[in-house]
Chain A
């Protein structure tokens, strides 16, 4: 009989305890949480008992009862009743894990003065429980439990039914009233205020991640973090060289040009970098070469000769993006020399099937060249040890965990870190002169060098793992470089570097059902967002609202208009505007006297609940979900105004007038809270609201402390400013014209990415449509001919025609007229 348990899982605790108690002998195996042991269950569960008959028991309580029975004891009705209660009632509350954990383990672990009564002490004192608790914790104390908790689905916000309002209990309502009345003046100062130092860094190629990082950073600052936000353009690599050749500029010129373009786009998007740097700096060379030598001296770099593709025509080696071909793993026809966009696996350029030079389209030949490899297998155990620790204490999105694990499972192989190129950080070793570092070795070092360009004290951030918590934001395709390759470089360099503790990866954002890809020039035009006349705050809102957290999501113009009109205009904007207007119209621009009734307190409780949710979610970097809390608050607020009708009551007697005053005063305060909560998402709107309400500068601090509390920040008598509408309606015609203007097909508007993203060509959607049809027809013709095994010359002629059509189509769509089978295939 085998019992599978995992570290830090409270359900394993009970099973082990009962096994110990009953003396039933079984082999206890520690298995990782992700291994699926029960073949028919869709999720891995623990504990699992493999019965002698080969059946699996996958529920803790039946396993306990089984042990009980095997040891010759009876299961009475009462036992089964308690266990049913535990499983059905206690566990059904989504927060069960917290409850079980807290109740069962917290006192045990912390040895604190918390005494839950005699019963607990007695049970706890049993030697059985002591041994078993040790086994589950594995000497790692509370940390080991955190990891288990983090994997649980997020309870309340998730499970809340959209239609059913959460009922506030009387206690909650009373407590909310009490909190509120504390106001700003006499709020208790928490005994201990934490100041985590955070470095939020972001790698430019990952579109959208910048915006996310900005939100997290802004939130962090609201919470009083000492944070540093650096970002930059990664300027080396074959992508840049390609682009430079396309535009007829030198690589340096192209970098200067696009660095400026990006900087202006981010400025427009109100991204609040501490420093927006670049990788083509002396600091970069200095730090990268230092890391290189440290790795070299410690024997983590191994020389080897590599077979490489060499284009005889262009007289050079075709590294990475200079070559395209068919992916050997998934047969995706446009895989690049270093990675396949489709399956995400890394590729050795020589493994590509049917390779062709990106410049001249000829087939390259294989030649050998000497290179240096980072010895990942040698660093693997160190890496695993670090990952274990980082993942168990930090926020890693599940896709980041998953991708990293699958890398480790496949086994690490040495990775080549040098390239036969000219544009890059030079390799300082004399035996490898004339070569440069591979962009994925070099680029993450940019985080360090960009910090160094910003402050001379960069080592306080980067060589300070005890005090600094590092956040990385990216799309999922960049995960392995940040979770495996780069950490290995830093671990191998043995210089006490700060490694990432929070790795937040998003899924892909699609454009109206089409995948966009930066390097293929499909979509992504950050600077176009600027030309749409839609304010950057609205863009930020919509992109964050869509943020592909759990799965891929898609951008659509119509949806953007809908969200703007329904959520921003009719919900959020409407509430804040009404609250302010009542105060200025009915109460001479002052916050009126308030006397809280039960109903007002209920609203306070609801708002307080959403605020706590918001903080919990953002602590776990669930940015999109937290945004919904804001919208929920204004929804509650609108309802509250609607029900209480202050515009009618103001005309009534004294009591009615007081009521109207209370409702207005509470609403204005809710609006003030909203301005603080909106800060990370829509900085300009947030500032406007604060200005209109003349809100005190410190109003956010008070409410964002600890778990969050909604207090009265605008007391009676506070004078507010001029109220004006915050949002504008997006009309159908406007959206239609935007759709037309951006070709309606493969233009995505989001934060920009690598230099190749921005291409200005005049698009012609009408012609494109017609051509699309022709391309399809011509394609059919070619296929038919091939199927009939027609004469070769005939086929070649038809294929040439097809290519010509495709070229025209690409031009008409406003894209780079470079043949690519992708184009014209998807409508």
Chain B
């Protein structure tokens, strides 16, 4: 017997687009317009600028009266803090952790050894995975974060930590460029992001990103 039409309909030929290939090399284009995507791989000067502004904002959030002076080094414009006691501190995570200690808020680094490890891990994720991430990998980062945050309020579980602050700074430029639909697709991430940007004293230099709380696209979330 001949196959019925409805069955033959399913055998549409495989095309490149219909295959969700995700390899290390394969471009996994975001659905947003390409000019947006281009902005995401931010140039080095911008990254340096970002890191310094972040540290300034962090200082304000932590209640520092007087701002520290920073310089940068190397191709990646790694921030340096020249303190008056001893050797300079190098690196965003190192400096940020140091500032938190100075401000006598060690709980921001985690309350238990386990939590501290988790916080450190996300801080490292921020500087290794998120910063300078090629634009074709952004999608997978958003996916990872979204999935991780599915059952969590904060990155380290139920406590607000430095990881939330720095990751918020780090994803801000990505979130700002997402379409409403994309934000909805990454619902857990958007929820966390919105929560952090409204956390008292955190947003500082960054503009508010609008996150809708009601869903517009039915069935878009998976």
- A contact residues vs B (CB 8 Å cutoff): 39-43, 51-53, 55, 57-59, 61-63, 65-66, 69-70, 77-78, 80-81, 84-85, 87-89, 91-92, 153-154, 158-159, 326, 331-334, 342, 354, 356, 363, 398, 508, 510, 513-515, 550-554, 779, 782-783, 786, 799, 803, 819, 821-822, 825-826
Contacts and interface: CB of A to CB of B under 8 A. Distances in A.
B3 A57 contact: no
B134 interface: yes
A326 B90 contact: no
Contact of A326 (B7, B97, B148): B7
B127 interface: yes
A55 B13 contact: no
A730 B140 CA distance: 40
A59 B128 CA distance: 10
B24 A510 contact: no
B98 interface: yes
B35 interface: no
Nearest to B10: A331
Nearest to B139: A42
Interface residues of B, number: 56
A779 B16 CA distance: 27
Nearest to A802: B5
Nearest to B152: A55
A342 B13 CA distance: 9
Interface stretch (B57-65, B118-126, B174-182, B195-203): B118-126
B170 interface: no
B143 interface: yes
26 contacts: A42-B140, A57-B121, A69-B113, A70-B113, A77-B97, A81-B90, A84-B92, A87-B124, A88-B91, A88-B127, A89-B76, A89-B78, A158-B25, A331-B10, A332-B11, A333-B8, A356-B1, A510-B14, A513-B13, A551-B21, A552-B16, A552-B19, A554-B15, A786-B4, A821-B2, A825-B12
Contacts of B113: 66, 69-70
B84 interface: no
B9 interface: yes
Given A52-B114, A88-B128, A333-B7, A159 B94 contact: no
A65 B117 contact: yes
Interface of B: 1-16, 19, 21-26, 74, 76, 78, 87, 89-94, 97-98, 113-114, 116-118, 120-121, 124-125, 127-128, 131-132, 134, 140, 143-144, 147-148, 150, 157
Given A550-B26, A819-B2, A822-B11, A77 B94 contact: yes
Contacts of A821: 2-3, 5, 7-8, 11
B2 A510 contact: no
Contacts of B94: 77, 80-81, 84
A87 B13 contact: no
A40 B1 contact: no
A44 B182 CA distance: 25
Contacts of A41: 144
Contacts of B22: 42
Contacts of B128: 59, 87-88, 91-92
Nearest to A548: B16
A63 B78 CA distance: 23
A345 to B, nearest CB: 15
B93 A783 contact: no
A572 to B, nearest CB: 24
A84 B127 contact: yes
Contact of B12 (A53, A84, A826): A826
A78 B44 CA distance: 25
The 10 closest A-B CB pairs, nearest first, are A821-B8, A515-B13, A66-B117, A40-B147, A84-B91, A62-B120, A62-B121, A40-B148, A153-B24, A551-B21
B144 A551 contact: no
A65 B1 contact: no
B167 to A, nearest CB: 14
Contacts of B90: 81, 84-85
B124 A333 contact: no
B148 to A, nearest CB: 4
